[in-house]
Amino acid sequence: MTVMDQKPLDEWLKARPRLASDVVARRVVLRGKPLFILQDPATGRHWRSSVDLFRLAYRLDGSRTIAEAMQAGGFDAQAPEGATLLKGLADMSMAGLLRLPGLRRTANEPPSSVWLRGLLQRIVFMRFPLGNLQPILPLALRLLGGLYSMAGSLIVLALLIAAGWTLLGETSAILAQFDRLSQLDAGGLLIGWLIFVAAKMLHETGHAVAAARAGDAEGLELRSFCWGISFMFFFPAPYVDVSPAWLIASRWRRAQVGLAGIQMDLLLASAAGLIWANIAGGFLADRLFELMLLCGVSSLLFNANPLVRLDGYYVVSDLLEIPNLQSKGWIALRNLTLWPLGLADRPTRPSQFAYALYSAASWAWRWSIFIAIFWLAGSISANLAYAFAITIGCIYVVIPMARLLADPRAILSAAKQRGRRILAAPVLAAGVAALFFWLPIPVHTVAEGVAWNEALSWAYAPANGVVRSVAPVGAREGTLIEVDNPELRMTLAQLRAEEAAIALQARRARAETVQKADSLAERQRAVRAQIAAFEEEMAKWQMPSVEGAVWYPLRAEHLDEAWIRRDDQRPLGVSIGEGSVILRIVFDQWDGPAALKAMAARGDSEIQVRRRGETAASMRAIVVQLPNQARGELPSQALAHAAGGPISVKADERGQLRPNEAVFEARLALTAPPPAPSLRHGERIEALIALDSSSLAALGWKRLRQLLQRRLSA
């Protein structure tokens, strides 16, 4: 029950509810503090109550009002402790533990808000009970009970260590599996979901088995565990309700119940990993890898994570004996945030700061998961991603703000109590908004590129043949590459002999007939053309050096006596002269137009440049050429994503890597020689381009829009 108006509070105090007659209560001790665990046999659910709340509820038999019961118990409804008890009674009535026909909601939030929040929360998480594990629990105890003994835990630990050691040598196979998973189709997703359901059912059954064993150790017969199917964002998964574990007094046994599912997951993951690493690839190997990934990753990132309200959370809460850890953390974080603004009480105890830190970490993790789900949904459907974002925004942003603003009297009351301090909140908010939306800040973009020597000359395979010699690195004169083709030499010799024979026949034919002489002359011209073409080909066999340039063999260094074919795409080597170095920088379609506009507007203004990896600019350059249009190739493959560059590429029909989208290339010239060492051809550089000033809001909206457009193709 939240803050109430006086009228519904009076109505609630006059109500005559009664505690359900079939409720079973058990007293337990948490952190030295006694509590009562209430069980509703009709639903099989359990509810935790303080001693005072249980005493008050026990007095409610339908014949006395809540006000009379509080007065008899010595509780003041107007005191903070009394308000807490009233809230507890309201929660018990909503849970069905207090019976009052015609009971209406007493919170002052409008019914439409409650209905909307309930609907959205059902979209996030829904449960549908389907049955009870009691009939199969004896069999499960016989099969799985030993797993939760000391010997079983040691076996799981040994398997886990063995699997981890084995998988260390399977890096390439693991990467291949991840590559396969990145291209899953609908059939693969269905198989993965079926594996998840089977593993999840074993996980949940493990909780029930451990709870039954822990109950037996304390003389409790815990055998009734409801099971069903739950939906988280419409994703179905089995569940088992092990809330009877609250009846277990020992916190260590309750922690063992919480860890039981994780232990089952690790057993499945380690066994699947060991088998996968020792069998050949195929359907079974793929399914085992998926099982290992689902059980291992889900246990470490989710079930064992205390920041998520799953197994790890309840284990930590039990061991530290801190009930409602998440609620306490949220209250502490809210008070710590709103206290400087005069909207909350000042935190006084060190534990409140620890709770606030936990809550902040939990919220950070929660939103990381939300973003990851949004990102994954975007790869399936843009509409699915939008629906998810709207749902999360309504639950965690819109509805909480609406609830805060729906009670202006509470805000005015806080203003009267706290005086001028509360004015700090709107003043600070207005100041932050002004800075965020209107204060212009300098904006820059970093363009990556390469240094380019204009006196560079590539050497390609000039002809088909055998490489006879390659000049060493640093050669400045002589023949760089010499190629020979014995077959072509033999063919040329045959053509020359044929040409000589035709010439002899032509001299004899002149004495016979004119027609025969003309025919032989035509043949002679054709053979001479072939000879000239072969001689021209042979002239390319020796590649001379470039004056003033230094020779660097690339592929040619390892091609001695190897057969090569004419190729104008892959160079054999390069000759680098002493020419000037220019900087070729590239922009993608997102930042290119704005950067080119800013560079054109600034004219000859210097641009800061640094080598890639440096922390500060060490060079200055000016623009010498801006593009008139985008181009479909990169100045260097070092700028591709695969090499750590900024541009995503794909292979064309010839196998050459080209940008997925056309890029813009600008050329810069250094205004002064770079500091030693000098820039080498192909060396990666980064240029800092100043853009037009913009507010943080405009800049953030631009980046978010680009991100969504890239992900959702919208």
Q: How many percent of the chain have pLDDT more than 90? A: 11
Give Cα separations from 39 to 21, 44, 160, 647 (angstroms): 11, 7, 38, 61
- The per-residue pLDDT for range 49-97, each reduced to its tens digit, is 777 887 787 777 777 888 888 887 788 777 777 777 888 888 777 777 7
pLDDT computed for residue 58 by the predictor: 74
pLDDT of 106 higher than 50: no
Q: How is residue 678 annotated by DSSP?
A: P
Q: How many percent of the chain have pLDDT more than 70? A: 86
pLDDT tier at 422, thresholds 50, 70, 90: low
Cα(381)–Cα(398) distance, integer angstroms: 24
- The per-residue pLDDT for range 604-652, each reduced to its tens digit, is 888 999 998 888 888 999 999 898 888 888 888 888 887 888 888 887 7
- The per-residue pLDDT for range 216-275, each reduced to its tens digit, is 888 888 888 888 888 876 778 888 888 788 778 788 888 899 899 999 999 999 999 999
Average pLDDT over residues 145-159: 90
Q: Which residues pair with 240 in a beta bridge?
A: 227
Average pLDDT, rounded, for the chain: 80
pLDDT tier at 107, thresholds 50, 70, 90: very low
pLDDT of 410 higher than 70: no
pLDDT tier at 110, thresholds 50, 70, 90: very low
pLDDT computed for residue 546 by the predictor: 80
Q: What's the farthest any 2 CA atoms get from each other in the chain? A: 148
| Residue 658 Ramachandran class (φ > 0 left, ψ -120 to 50 alpha, else beta) | beta
- The per-residue pLDDT for range 177-212, each reduced to its tens digit, is 887 887 777 788 888 889 989 999 999 999 999 999
pLDDT computed for residue 714 by the predictor: 43
pLDDT of 581 higher than 90: no
Q: Which residues of 170-183 are buried (b: 16+ CB within 10 A; e: fewer)?
A: eeeebeebeeeeee
pLDDT tier at 292, thresholds 50, 70, 90: very high
pLDDT of 111 higher than 50: no
Where exactly does CATH 3.30.390 map onto the chain?
6-108
pLDDT tier at 108, thresholds 50, 70, 90: very low
pLDDT computed for residue 208 by the predictor: 92
Cα(92)–Cα(38) distance, integer angstroms: 10
Highest mean pLDDT among 19-23, 61-65, 101-105: 61-65
Average pLDDT over residues 320-327: 80
What backbone torsions phi and psi does residue 55 show, to the nearest 5 degrees? Answer: -60, -45
- The per-residue pLDDT for range 529-577, each reduced to its tens digit, is 888 888 888 888 888 888 778 888 877 777 888 888 887 777 888 887 7
pLDDT computed for residue 633 by the predictor: 87
Q: What is the 3-state secondary structure (H, E, C) of 562-620?
A: CEECCECCCCCEEEECCCCEEEEEEECCCCHHHHHHHHHHHCCCCEEEEECCCCCCCEE
Give Cα separations from 586 to 129, 329, 589, 643, 703 (angstroms): 59, 48, 10, 15, 19
pLDDT of 104 higher than 60: no
The helix (H) or strand (E) run that includes residue 311 is helix 311-319
Which has more confidence, 456 or 305? 305
The CATH number of the domain covering residues in 6-108: 3.30.390
- The per-residue pLDDT for range 426-460, each reduced to its tens digit, is 777 778 778 878 888 888 889 999 998 877 787 88
Give Cα separations from 432 to 402, 426, 438, 698, 700 (angstroms): 21, 10, 10, 15, 15
pLDDT tier at 112, thresholds 50, 70, 90: very low
Average pLDDT over residues 11-33: 72
- Helices 251-277, 150-167: axis angle to 10 degrees equals 40
pLDDT of 113 higher than 50: no
Q: Are 57 and 98 in contact (CB under 8 A)?
A: yes
pLDDT tier at 159, thresholds 50, 70, 90: very high
Q: 10 Å Cβ neighbour count for 391?
A: 17
Cα(195)–Cα(293) distance, integer angstroms: 11
pLDDT tier at 117, thresholds 50, 70, 90: low
- Tokens in use for 116? 């909307």
pLDDT computed for residue 1 by the predictor: 38
